[in-house]
Amino acid sequence: MLYTYLGFFGFTLFVIIYTTYKLRKDKFTTSQGYFLAGKSLTGPIIAGSMILTNISTEHLIGMNGSSYKNGIIIIAWEVTSAIALVIAAIYFIPKFIKLGITTIPEFLEKRFDGAIRSIVAFLLMSSFVITLLPIVLYSGAINIESVFDFSAIFNVSKRESLIYTVLTIGILGSMYAIFGGLKAVAYSDSLNGIGLMLGGLLIPVIALYQIGNGNMFEGLSTVYDFAPDKFDIIGKPDSVLPFSVLFTGLMINQLYFWGMNQAIIQRAFGAKNLVEAQKGLIYTGALKLFVPAIIVLPGLIGYYYFRDTYYENPDLIYPMLVKKVLPSYLFGFFAAVILGAVLSTFNSVLNSASTIFCLDIYKKIIDKNASDKKLVKYGKISSVVLALIAIAVAPMVSYAPEGLYQLLQELNGIFFIPISSIIIAGIFFKQINTIGAKAGLFFGFTFYILTTFILNLDIHFVHLWGIEFVLNFIIMFLVSRLYPSQKTSEYYQETELEETSWPNVKMYGAVLVFLTVLIYVLLS
């Protein structure tokens, strides 16, 4: 147990000391310094932060639980991200950076009006605090509890232990976001990212080594031969993630998440220039192709070890696999890696939520003349309030029939598809006006809640995303035509900032797209 605590506190303190050292000369008194890291981030730092903001315990637990139950088909959530990142690097991020925006809702005001900016800002904050953050906290608490078994140490129930762990993680994560802003988040994320890659790879490497009696490839072959149907990447039409969703709603979701989601794209907004922002997105795409080794493969190995033991509660499979294969002296390091993954997602999303509140709600609606000092002050206050809400909601995420990751994606659809449709309309379709965009936003929001949670239609929710996206555009075009705007959007007349694109972005982007397709060809 001593090695466990030494490994845990050693790595955790190292991250804190390193981050503090890197920020020792920074003064977070301006909104750009606090919310955009002083426009100083480079490609590798952006990529590290993006990956850690994306991957947390809802992936380690949720995705591995889903692959244990449903097979390798759920890899689509990961590898198709590379294509979305390429599109974002070539088309989205140059537009956003050249316009000099700080938040996604700010772009919507430039293109449409202030009302849409406020509505979307509120929806984004709600999606962060009510869906994403609570699931991140709860799944993190499950993993930390599985390593340290606090319920036994402190003689409390599992539920009480999870609540206390959620509270502790929430407080620690809040401190990064509140006191260091985006720069503290980005640097701590990069270091935790290295830890996650190393720690996460340890699990499948050790497991396959043991199964193959010293030969990892033999171990992988044994796992495959045990249940070859689990390695069917195409799957059946009624599977949890049918192959057909790649051509309906999945890519729309990926485009939103990697190209328009404030919690992710804010790292690119904090880049030194457009070249570094594009490099960050391409590097992230390359990393996403390797991530399934950490968040999909262990679930398949778990099925070999445990059969159908945890089929009714797949979110237990990853903690049990860790306990089975990881040497006890590495428990502490691994727990620190898990904590780092939780903290990185929590503090990143919290920083983005407070950014949206301060710049898109407080400064636009409450105090239009707020100084930078005042914005930073309210950024910290809003972080505290939003963190407390997320901590309060987290224990309610006690059980999800299809697993935590599936629940997260279903809830995300409430916000992502309506917002992505009006952003894409704003970038590419000059014909769509403000009234049309508002109609599309309202229709999409209502349509998804009605079809998914009230009518319970027998249509896969990712297909519903695609249907909703198409219907949103039909509504937007029809309304824009019926109610033409007298005023042409100023967005198209604005002079864009001088920014030079990365010359190699299309070449490296093409390589990533090719590798993504190759993965499907090789595994089909």
Q: What is the pLDDT of residues 74-105, one digit of tens each?
A: 999 999 999 999 999 999 999 898 888 888 88
* Residue given tokens 């070999």 in the structure block: 304
In whole angstroms, give the CA distance from residue 81 to residue 314: 24
State the average pLDDT for the chain: 83
pLDDT score recorded for residue 150: 79
* 414 vs 477: which has the higher pLDDT: 477
pLDDT score recorded for residue 139: 77
* 264 vs 493: which has the higher pLDDT: 264
pLDDT at 400 over 60: no
The CATH class that applies to domain 1-22+41-488+498-523 reads: mainly alpha
pLDDT score recorded for residue 35: 54
pLDDT at 393 over 90: no
pLDDT score recorded for residue 176: 61
Q: If we measure between CA atoms, which residue out of 270, 301, 225, 258 comes closest to residue 100?
A: 270
pLDDT tens digits, residue range 136-151? 888 778 777 777 777 8
- According to the per-residue pLDDT averaged within each range, which of 146-155, 380-389, 420-429, 452-461 is highest? 420-429
Q: In the structure, what pLDDT confidence band is assigned to residue 160 with cuts at 50, 70 and 90? A: confident
pLDDT tens digits, residue range 19-36? 777 666 655 555 555 555
pLDDT at 286 over 70: yes
CA distances for 161 relative to 113, 129, 169, 333, 353, angstroms: 47, 22, 12, 21, 28
pLDDT tens digits, residue range 106-138? 899 888 988 898 889 888 888 888 778 888 888
Percent of the chain with pLDDT over 70: 88
pLDDT tens digits, residue range 180-230? 555 666 666 667 777 778 888 999 999 999 999 999 999 999 999 999 999
Q: In the structure, what pLDDT confidence band is assigned to residue 293 with cuts at 50, 70 and 90? A: very high
Three-state secondary structure call for residue 41: strand
* 111 vs 335: which has the higher pLDDT: 111
pLDDT tens digits, residue range 312-333? 778 788 888 988 898 878 877 8
pLDDT score recorded for residue 178: 67
**What would the two tokens of residue 472 be?**
């949103």
pLDDT at 494 over 80: no
Q: If we measure between CA atoms, which residue out of 453, 463, 469 comes closest to residue 250?
A: 463
Q: If we measure between CA atoms, which residue out of 143, 139, 133 comes closest to residue 174?
A: 133
pLDDT at 399 over 60: no
Average pLDDT over residues 360-376: 83
pLDDT score recorded for residue 123: 86
Structure letter (DSSP) for residue 395: G
What is the secondary structure of 264-321 as a DSSP string?
HHHHHHTBSSHHHHHHHHHHHHHHHTTTHHHHTHHHHHHHHHHTTTTTT-GGGHHHHH
Q: If we measure between CA atoms, which residue out of 101, 109, 97, 110 comes closest to residue 35?
A: 101
pLDDT tens digits, residue range 343-356? 777 877 887 888 88
pLDDT at 262 over 70: yes
pLDDT at 14 over 90: no
For the entire predicted model, the pTM comes to 0.84
Q: In the structure, what pLDDT confidence band is assigned to residue 401 with cuts at 50, 70 and 90? A: very low
**What would the two tokens of residue 246 be?**
């790649």
What is the secondary structure of 446-471 as a DSSP string?
HHHHIIIIIS--SS-HHHHHHHHHHH
Three-state secondary structure call for residue 232: coil
CB 339 within 8 A of CB 319: no
For residue 498, what are the contacts with CB-CB under 8 A and spacing of at least 6?
none
Torsion over CA: 144, 149, 153, 157 (sign): positive
Q: Picking from 56-60, 317-321, 330-334, 463-467, which range would have the lowest pLDDT averaged per residue?
A: 56-60
Average pLDDT over residues 389-398: 79
pLDDT score recorded for residue 208: 96
Q: How many helices (H) and strands (E) does the chain have?
A: 26, 0
